[in-house]
């Protein structure tokens, strides 16, 4: 009996399973990706919580930045990894809004779940979401206000908005002018269409508090001058950057020279002295009075004897310049790296008004200011009382710099505090009424999903999310397009009066990237394991 009905049963079951499997895969992907989004939801907004991340080697990071949290999270599910990539993409594209992008994606996935349950085909959902996201971006562009780079106030407000949701928010009044000034110094506001953030060097120095952070229009080395009685302040500096060593050469192989009698010993010493003195004399002859020496991994880049000679000739020496800093140093000082003493010529050197060693907190640094070509590169000297604060301050300032960069790329700003999302949702709903069929369903779901941002902002600020979002909807329906959540007063007010502004690019790229990721998750119907 059993044997007879077996095959036919199996066949029908396998037929049934084939239809079932893609749906199961989709649901499982949605669940995994949503779990990631939910994990960082509590970090959104100025009242969001921070995360403490412990790595396997015991390192601890405290952060509020979505991209940083996700980067360090151990994510196993392949669909969940897509959200990690999503926040990375937002970090590259806009630099800020890395939490928002994941929260939006999570909410859109939720919407997909409901649409799939209604029996709507994933391809229809995907296509409708594409249209909805294009429409959303158009709407956002419609409500954005243009901003000029000369409008310092707006730039400052945008930078502060980004900093306000960070661990170091109490320092935002200090850090936002630094972010604005740093970017403005390295670009030409009239012609710039992008900012190379590598021109802004962030130097972290433990000690002091974040309050002591300063912007230096020039170059800073975290090491001291080498001393040895040499100068530690040089005006009208001629700066040479060398990549060779001023120390006795070593043999190619590891062998030793045995010196048996005193005269030979004397000769070796004399030779060495002469060799070094020759180099130092050539350096002096080229007119150099500040010598920067690249770190060498083979031997000591500069011997004690060389330092002594250099000090005698009144040449200021900074050694151990890292390989990766060379390009930045050359660009800002206007010199060329010199690989051998024969190329130590005046035209390869740069110049600056002043090079000096200064005391900051408990340690000394070397500052180079007044370059011949000003404003090419600037340095931000970050200070912090402990490593955790210092690193988070560094990340937060990076976000603020990115916000200003967004404004250079696309000179439009919009209000923050949930205002744009509610406005979008409202206008998309209205637009959905002109559509028919499943498309209308999907548009509505998309529009509703965007309300997650004000919902979460309210939730994190300890307000009643439902009451807040419904009131926001009402206010927007009455035409108050800048009504947003005022977390300080715990009410809904005109958010522009609260000075909460953000670049248009942050919001448009968040919506664009989030819907793109959701669409690609929708299109996956199987996970195949690879043997290798």
Q: What is the set of active-site residues?
A: 65, 98-99, 399
Report how far residue 513's alpha carbon sits from residue 145's, in angstroms, rounded to the nearest whole number.
22
Among 161, 396, 508, 515, which residue sits at the site for ligand ADP (rule: CB under 6 A)? 161
Smaller CB distance to ligand ADP: residue 122 or 416? Answer: 416
* Interacting partner of 100 out of Mg ion, ligand ADP, none (Cβ under 5 to 8 A depending on kind): ligand ADP
Q: Looking up tokens 């069929």, which residue turns up?
A: 437
**What's the closest the beta carbon of residue 152 comes to ligand ADP, in angstroms?**
19
208 binds ligand ADP (CB under 6 A): no
For residue 11, the SS3 value is helix
503 binds ligand ADP (CB under 6 A): no
**What's the closest the beta carbon of residue 509 comes to Mg ion, in angstroms?**
13
Among 29, 33, 41, 48, which residue sits at the site for ligand ADP (rule: CB under 6 A)? 48
**Cα 130 → chain centroid:** 28
453 binds ligand ADP (CB under 6 A): yes
For 190, residues 6+ apart whose C-beta sits below 8 A from its C-beta are: none
Asked if residues 118 and 137 have their Cβ atoms less than 8 Å apart, the reply is no
Asked if residues 82 and 520 have their Cβ atoms less than 8 Å apart, the reply is yes
Binders of ligand ADP among residues 262 to 321 (CB under 6 A) are none
Smaller CB distance to Mg ion: residue 87 or 133? Answer: 87
* Interacting partner of 459 out of ligand ADP, Mg ion, none (Cβ under 5 to 8 A depending on kind): none
Site string for Mg ion, 38-77 (x = CB under 5 A): ----------------------------------------
154 binds ligand ADP (CB under 6 A): no
Among 44, 86, 291, 311, which residue sits at the site for ligand ADP (rule: CB under 6 A)? 44
Q: Which sign, positive or negative, has the C-alpha torsion 490, 493, 495, 497?
A: negative
* Of 479, 498, 500, nearest in space to 489 by CA: 498
Report how far residue 56's alpha carbon sits from residue 71's, in angstroms, rounded to the nearest whole number.
14
**What's the closest the beta carbon of residue 162 comes to Mg ion, in angstroms?**
5
Among 66, 122, 218, 230, which residue sits at the site for ligand ADP (rule: CB under 6 A)? 66
Please give the full DSSP string across 38-95, using - where no structure is assigned.
HHHHTT-STTPPPEEEE-TTS-EEEE--HHHHHHHS---SHHHHHHHHHHHHHHHHTS
- C-beta atoms surrounding 362 within 10 Å: 9
Report how far residue 441's alpha carbon sits from residue 430's, in angstroms, rounded to the nearest whole number.
12
Site string for ligand ADP, 94-123 (x = CB under 6 A): --xxxxx-----------------------
162 binds Mg ion (CB under 5 A): yes
Report how far residue 147's alpha carbon sits from residue 154's, in angstroms, rounded to the nearest whole number.
7
Q: Which stretch binds Mg ion (CB under 5 A): 96-104, 145-153, 212-220, 301-309?
A: 96-104
What is the chain's length? 532
**What's the closest the beta carbon of residue 484 comes to Mg ion, in angstroms?**
15
Among 96, 181, 392, 459, which residue sits at the site for Mg ion (rule: CB under 5 A)? 96
* Interacting partner of 500 out of ligand ADP, Mg ion, none (Cβ under 5 to 8 A depending on kind): ligand ADP
Q: Which stretch binds ligand ADP (CB under 6 A): 60-68, 133-141, 231-239, 307-315?
A: 60-68
Q: Helix axis angle, 504-523 relative to 78-93, nearest 10°?
A: 160
Buried residues in 500-521 as b, exposed as e (16+ CB within 10 A) = bbbbbbbbbbbbbbbbbbbbeb
User: Under the rule (CB under 6 A), what is the footprint of ligand ADP?
Assistant: 43-46, 48, 64-66, 96-100, 161, 164-165, 416-417, 453, 457, 485, 487, 498, 500, 502
User: Under the rule (CB under 5 A), what is the footprint of Mg ion?
Assistant: 96, 162
């Amino acid at each position: 009996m059993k044997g007879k009905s077996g095959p036919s049963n199996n066949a029908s079951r396998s037929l049934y399973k084939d239809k079932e499997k893609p749906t199961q895969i989709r649901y499982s992907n949605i669940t995994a990706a949503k779990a990631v989004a939910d994990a960082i939801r509590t970090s959104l907004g100025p009242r969001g919580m921070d995360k403490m991340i412990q790595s396997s080697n015991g390192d601890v990071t405290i952060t509020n930045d979505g991209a940083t949290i996700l980067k360090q999270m151990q994510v196993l599910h392949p669909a969940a990894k897509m959200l990690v990539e999503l926040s990375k993409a937002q970090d590259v594209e806009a630099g800020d809004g890395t939490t928002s992008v994941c929260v939006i994606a999570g909410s859109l996935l939720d919407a997909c779940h409901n649409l799939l349950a209604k029996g709507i085909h994933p391809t229809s959902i995907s296509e409708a979401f594409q249209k909805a996201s294009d429409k959303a971006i158009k709407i956002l562009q419609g409500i954005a206000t243009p901003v000029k780079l000369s409008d310092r106030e707006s730039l400052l407000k945008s930078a502060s908005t980004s900093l306000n949701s960070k661990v170091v928010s109490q320092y935002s009044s200090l850090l936002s002018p630094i972010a604005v000034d740093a970017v403005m110094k390295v670009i030409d506001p009239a012609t710039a269409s992008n900012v190379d953030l590598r021109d802004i060097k962030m130097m972290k120095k433990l000690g002091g508090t974040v309050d002591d952070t300063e912007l230096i229009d020039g170059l800073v080395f975290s090491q001291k001058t080498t001393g040895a009685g040499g100068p530690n302040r040089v005006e009208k500096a001629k700066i040479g950057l060398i990549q060779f060593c001023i120390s006795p050469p070593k043999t190619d192989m590891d062998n030793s020279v045995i010196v048996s009698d005193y005269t030979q010993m004397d000769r070796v010493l004399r030779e060495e002295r002469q060799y070094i003195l020759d180099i130092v004399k050539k350096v002096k002859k080229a007119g150099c009075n500040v010598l920067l020496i690249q770190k060498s991994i083979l031997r000591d880049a500069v011997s004690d004897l060389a330092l002594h000679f250099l000090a005698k000739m009144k040449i200021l020496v900074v050694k151990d310049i890292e390989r990766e800093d060379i390009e930045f140093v050359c660009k800002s000082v206007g010199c060329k790296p010199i690989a051998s003493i024969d190329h130590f010529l005046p035209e390869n050197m740069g110049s600056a008004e002043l090079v000096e060693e200064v005391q900051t907190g408990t340690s000394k640094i070397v500052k180079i200011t007044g370059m011949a070509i000003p404003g090419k590169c600037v340095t931000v000297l970050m200070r912090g009382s402990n490593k955790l604060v210092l690193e988070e301050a560094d990340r937060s300032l990076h976000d603020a710099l990115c916000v200003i960069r967004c404004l250079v790329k696309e000179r439009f700003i919009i209000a923050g505090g949930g205002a744009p999302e509610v406005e979008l949702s409202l206008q998309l709903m209205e637009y959905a009424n002109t559509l028919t069929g499943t498309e209308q369903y999907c548009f509505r779901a998309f529009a509703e999903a965007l309300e997650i941002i004000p919902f979460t902002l309210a939730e994190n600020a300890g307000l009643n999310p439902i009451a807040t979002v419904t009131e926001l909807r009402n206010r927007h329906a009455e035409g108050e397009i800048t009504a947003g959540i005022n977390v300080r007063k715990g009410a809904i007010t005109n958010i522009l009066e609260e000075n909460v502004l953000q670049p248009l690019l942050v919001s448009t790229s968040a919506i664009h990237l989030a819907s793109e990721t959701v669409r690609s998750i929708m299109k996956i119907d199987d996970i195949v394991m690879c043997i290798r």
